[in-house]
């Protein structure tokens, strides 16, 4: 939902002892955007290199280990809302310290084992620091949601400085992304919580997970026969 600029200024000014003007706020966000987009570019490049190597016949030789990569930097409005919920003021220093998901990457893999293989390779790189892992694949949420959430930190080299920047990496399979995308849209349309529909959504997540595991076993058997 879009927030009118007048309301945005009021929200920001309410949290600051010395109110910024709208122009100053936008300018500050512009600088932050450069930092976070640059960190995304760094991680995305690393992921593409890993995928290229895994797809090489001389290594694993299986195509489409990484099916898709999606990226985004949180909007100013989203950042403001999250700071408000945390009862924090708006400043670049506070955003960098308190928010770990301003820079976001969603990576879609073909199979579950691809997820952990890519993460292991990325985490082994000397300039990548893994700060936090939430594994909703091994421990799905009650709703049925499955994904691997990882907070990374990397150094990004700018013209006159080097900054260590956090990036949130969400890794899913094609099947997990299919369920999550449709479930989000369906829940958005629900005005109240419906236990029966929630149960059915969770059941579909389990069904999809079972199908996914079966496809993985089929692929593994085929690869074993080829070898």
**Residues identified as active-site:** 168
* C-alpha torsion sign, points 78, 205, 119, 47: negative
Integer Cα distance of 127 and 117 in angstroms: 18
Tell me the CA end-to-end span of the chain in Å, nearest whole number: 53
| Token pair belonging to 191 | 């005005």
Q: How is residue 38 annotated by DSSP?
A: H
| Token pair belonging to 221 | 């058997």
Nearest-5° Cα angle at 154, 90 to 158: 75
Which value, in Å, is the radius of gyration of the alpha carbons in the chain? 20
**Helices in the chain by DSSP H: which ranges?**
5-15, 22-54, 76-85, 92-98, 112-123, 174-189, 195-226
């Amino acid at each position: 939902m879009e927030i009118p600029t007048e309301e945005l200024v009021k929200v920001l000014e309410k949290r600051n002892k010395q109110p910024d003007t709208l122009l100053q706020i936008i300018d500050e966000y512009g600088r932050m955007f450069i930092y976070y987009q640059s960190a995304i570019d760094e991680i995305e490049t690393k992921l593409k290199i890993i995928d290229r190597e895994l797809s090489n016949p001389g290594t694993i030789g299986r195509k489409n280990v990484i099916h898709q990569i999606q990226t985004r930097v949180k909007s100013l409005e989203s950042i403001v809302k999250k700071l408000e919920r945390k009862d924090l003021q708006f400043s670049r220093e506070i955003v960098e310290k308190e928010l770990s998901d301003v820079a976001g990457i969603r990576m879609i893999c073909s199979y579950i084992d691809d997820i952990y293989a890519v993460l292991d390779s990325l985490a082994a790189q000397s300039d990548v620091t893994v700060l936090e892992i939430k594994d909703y694949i091994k421990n799905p949420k009650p709703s049925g949601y499955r994904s691997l959430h990882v907070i990374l930190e990397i150094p990004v080299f700018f013209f006159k400085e080097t900054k260590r920047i956090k990036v949130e990496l969400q890794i899913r399979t094609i099947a997990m992304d299919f369920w999550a995308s449709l479930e989000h849209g369906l829940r958005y349309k629900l005005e109240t919580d419906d236990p029966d529909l929630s149960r059915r959504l969770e059941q579909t997540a389990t069904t999809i997970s079972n199908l996914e595991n079966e496809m993985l076993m089929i692929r593994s058997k085929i690869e074993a026969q080829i070898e």
